[in-house]
Amino acid sequence: MRIAFLMAPEGVEQMELTEPWQAAVDAGHEPVLVSTRSGEVQAFHHLDRADTFPVDEVVGQTSADSFGGLVLPGGVANPDFLRMDDKAVAFVSSFFEQGRPVAAICHAPWTLVEADVVRGRVLTSWPSLRTDVRNAGGTWVDEQVKICDHGPNKLVTSRKPDDLKAFCAAYLDVFTEEEARR
Check 29, 45, 107, 150 and give the catalytic one: 107
Are 175 and 69 contacting, i.e. CB atoms less than 8 angstroms apart? Answer: yes
- Strands (E) across the chain are located at 2-7, 10-13, 30-35, 40-45, 48-54, 57-58, 69-72, 102-105, 122-123, 139-140, 145-148, 155-158
Are 161 and 104 contacting, i.e. CB atoms less than 8 angstroms apart? Answer: no
* Nearest residue to 93 via CA among 111, 107, 67: 111
29 labelled catalytic: no
Q: How many residues does the chain have?
A: 182
Which residues are part of the catalytic machinery? 107
